[in-house]
């Protein structure tokens, strides 16, 4: 596949020139491999660029005598657990092929699949903690889902071997932005295509195809046989099924570009305006129509204004304000926080419904698909019970209603609560219509229960005080309090004594806060 927007500084090479460049690159790889004991770690996502570099490395090392193949080559693939299911299935099968082929060919290659821990997964953060769908200004997903798992494995390799050479399929021709970023990194260059890694001591970054064009990548994949038995024509078919043709690279730090408008990315990604690749897959192939429920969820998450679904406070319980200037008119708004209990439960139900449906409608080889794992469900339940203090324990009920199965929590002692859904309903009835009163009562009860199970109750009063700080006011009073503090701070900064006196007099006449409140929340 060609890229019509490739920079002109990468002129097309003839087939003979490309063959000569590959021969030179093979010698370079062999020299780099044999010169020391530093292991390679190849970032492989299953896409065209990472497949090209792995194929180059594999073929170069395979051409060496057996006695010289004594240095490990780790193949690192990261699964965010929300990958496009077609690509995820392809990657898993390829890793199995890779492992078998490496053993049969006596190659020192070890495939490794990394995952984010349950506490950091997409659904644990969004459904459990209530994090809103990622946006460019709140891109909480990349660090948790990609950087941490890959970085954790790389650190283990460095700890065991002292150093590591990261082999990545980054190319300048992918975009002007990518070329600019790579140019900045040339100051850390050790030799051609080899840089020190400023973000990870004791590691180098090797970029064997940094100057390759997209058409050269495809020419190589189509003309050179895949050494671990994967059919590269199937890879081409997958790309043809989507409109975009950029893969999602192995992200090892914040300088590595994330997916953006990529082909091989997360099916829940809201950092792009549309998931054009999944839309194209569904539109171009009737056999992929079963993915429509996933696309529907992604589109439901990606709305311009979701304030009606979110708390009026930040996740730590404090009202924060910001000033917006629209056409010269300034207005002050509160910054919305996490999804409310109702919407966290709604998203859980939607994901479980989609999972149940696709297991019934997907092709036979995809019917074991898992959109949300048992470990994630257990973590979400823990967050709701222990951090949100929602002792009605609604997750098992929702799970059984949607799937028809009893939820079996793998966490020891999970769900051993003194109070449950019956008590929640009674408390809800008593507190109606004051939702903040219900929240305060549930937090106080949950906090007391947590300390009740401890051998020492040191800190219980501070914890209970925090419950009052975040939940004792109605939304109206909490907003008034935030505006008062903002105006008082602005008046103090400006030295406006008259404004301070007026605000102080207003507080005394119409008290909504006390001096202790103000001290407690700053």
pLDDT tens digit string along 202-227? 999 999 999 999 899 999 999 999 99
Segment 141-149 shows an average pLDDT of 92
pLDDT surpassing 70 at residue 286 = yes
Separation of alpha carbons 268 and 302, rounded Å: 9
Which residues fall within 8 angstroms of residue 83, CB to CB, at 6 or more apart?
Answer: 91, 264, 265, 266, 267
pLDDT of 259 > 60? The answer is no
DSSP 512: S
CA distance to 118, 313, 469, 479, per residue, from 318 (Å): 27, 5, 8, 10
Of 253-257, 307-311, 340-344, 375-379, least confident by mean pLDDT is 253-257
Inform me whether the pLDDT recorded for 289 exceeds 50.
yes
Q: Name which residue leads in pLDDT, 176 or 294.
A: 294
What is the pLDDT averaged over residues 134-159?
92
Identify the H or E element spanning 334. Answer: strand 329-334
Instruction: Give yes or no for a contact between 56 and 22, defined as CB atoms under 8 angstroms apart.
Output: yes
What pLDDT sits at residue 518? 41
Q: Which tens digits make up the pLDDT trace of 477-509? A: 888 888 888 888 877 887 877 766 666 765 654
First to last CA, the chain: 57
Tell me the C-alpha distance between 142 and 134, whole Å: 9
10 Å Cβ neighbour count for 76? 24
pLDDT of 1: 39
CB 321 within 8 A of CB 483: yes
Report the length, in residues, of the chain.
522
With a CB cutoff of 8 Å and minimum separation 6, the contacts of 319 are 312, 313, 334, 478, 479, 481, 482
Q: What is the pLDDT of residue 402?
A: 97
Q: What tens digit of pLDDT does each residue of 425-461 get?
A: 999 999 999 899 999 999 999 888 888 878 888 889 9
Q: Which comes out higher in pLDDT, residue 175 or 96? A: 96
Residue 179 has pLDDT above 70, yes or no: no
| Whether residue 243 has pLDDT greater than 60 | no
The listed range with the strongest mean pLDDT (229-233, 312-316, 337-341) is 337-341
Where would I find the beta strands (DSSP E) of 120-275? 164-167, 189-191, 194-196, 203-206
pLDDT at 310: 96
Instruction: Pick 453 or 177 by higher pLDDT.
Output: 453
Q: In terms of pLDDT, which residue wins out, 311 or 282?
A: 311
Q: What pLDDT does residue 6 have? A: 47
- 183 band by pLDDT with thresholds 50, 70 and 90: low
What average pLDDT score do residues 275-303 get?
85
Give the helix ranges, DSSP H, for 105-213: 122-123, 140-142, 148-161, 176-184
Residue 2 pLDDT grade (very low, low, confident, very high; cuts 50, 70, 90): very low
| Strand, coil or helix: 213 | coil
Asked if the model's pLDDT at residue 167 lies above 90, the reply is yes
pLDDT band at 510 (very low <50, low <70, confident <90, very high): very low
Under the banding of pLDDT at 50, 70 and 90, the label for residue 42 is very high
- Provide the pairing of β-strand 164-167 with 203-206: parallel
Mean predicted confidence (pLDDT) in 177-203: 67
pLDDT in the model for residue 172: 82
**399-408 pLDDT, tens digit each:** 999 999 999 9
Q: For position 3, what pLDDT does the model report?
A: 45
Lateral strand order in the sheet of 203-206: 109-114, 73-78, 40-43, 164-167, 203-206, 194-196, 189-191
Burial class (CB in 10 A: 0-12, 13-18, 19+), 339: buried
pLDDT digits (tens, 9 = 90+) for 350-397: 999 999 999 999 998 888 899 999 999 999 999 999 999 999 999 999
pTM, two decimal places: 0.84
pLDDT one-digit tens code per residue, 57-77: 999 999 999 999 999 999 999
Structure letter (DSSP) for residue 131: P
């Amino acid at each position: 596949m060609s890229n019509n927007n490739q920079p002109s500084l990468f002129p097309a090479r003839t087939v003979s020139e490309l063959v000569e460049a590959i021969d030179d690159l093979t010698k370079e790889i062999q020299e780099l491999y044999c010169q020391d004991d530093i292991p390679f770690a190849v970032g492989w996502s299953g896409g065209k660029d990472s497949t090209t570099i792995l194929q180059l490395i594999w073929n170069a090392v395979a051409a060496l005598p057996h006695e010289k193949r004594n240095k490990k080559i780790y193949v690192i693939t990261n699964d965010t657990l929300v990958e496009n299911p077609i690509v995820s299935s392809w990657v898993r099968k390829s890793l199995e092929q890779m492992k078998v082929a490496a053993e049969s060919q006596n190659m020192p290659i070890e495939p490794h699949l990394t995952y984010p821990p349950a506490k950091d997964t997409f659904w644990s953060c969004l459904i459990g903690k209530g994090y809103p769908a990622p946006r460019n200004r709140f891109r909480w997903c990349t660090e948790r889902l990609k950087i941490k798992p890959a970085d954790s494995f790389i650190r283990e390799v460095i700890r065991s071997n002292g150093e590591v050479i990261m082999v990545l399929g980054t190319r300048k021709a992918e975009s002007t932005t990518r070329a600019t970023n790579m140019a900045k990194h040339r100051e850390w260059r050790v030799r051609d295509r080899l840089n020190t890694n400023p973000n990870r001591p004791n590691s180098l970054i090797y970029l064997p195809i940094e100057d390759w064009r997209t058409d050269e990548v495809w020419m190589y994949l189509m003309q050179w046989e895949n050494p671990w038995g994967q059919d590269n024509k199937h890879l081409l078919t997958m790309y043809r099924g989507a409109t975009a043709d950029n893969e999602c690279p192995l992200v090892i730090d914040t300088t590595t570009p994330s997916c953006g408008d990529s082909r091989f990315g997360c099916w829940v990604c809201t950092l792009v305006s549309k998931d054009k690749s999944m839309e194209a897959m569904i539109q171009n192939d009737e056999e992929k129509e079963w993915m429509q429920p996933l696309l529907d969820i992604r589109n439901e998450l990606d709305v311009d204004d979701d304030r009606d679904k979110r708390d009026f406070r930040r996740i730590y319980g404090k009202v924060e304000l910001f000033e917006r200037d629209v056409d010269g008119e300034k207005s002050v708004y509160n910054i919305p926080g996490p999804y409310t209990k109702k919407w966290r439960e709604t998203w859980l139900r939607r994901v479980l419904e989609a999972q149940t449906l696709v297991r019934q409608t997907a092709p036979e080889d995809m019917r074991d698909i898992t959109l949300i794992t048992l470990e994630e469900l257990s973590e979400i339940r823990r967050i709701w019970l222990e951090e949100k203090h929602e002792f009605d324990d609604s997750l098992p009920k929702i799970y059984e209603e949607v799937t028809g199965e009893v939820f079996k929590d793998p966490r020891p002692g999970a769900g051993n609560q003194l109070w449950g859904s019956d008590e929640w309903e009674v408390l809800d009835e008593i507190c109606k219509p004051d939702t903040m009163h219900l929240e305060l009562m549930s937090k106080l009860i949950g906090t007391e229960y947590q300390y009740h199970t401890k051998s020492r109750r040191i800190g219980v009063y501070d914890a209970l005080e925090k419950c009052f700080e975040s939940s004792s006011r109605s939304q109206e009073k909490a907003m008034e309090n935030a505006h008062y503090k903002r105006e008082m701070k602005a008046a103090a900064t400006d030295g406006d004594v008259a404004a301070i006196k007026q605000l102080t007099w207003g507080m005394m006449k119409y008290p909504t806060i006390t001096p202790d409140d103000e001290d407690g929340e700053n």
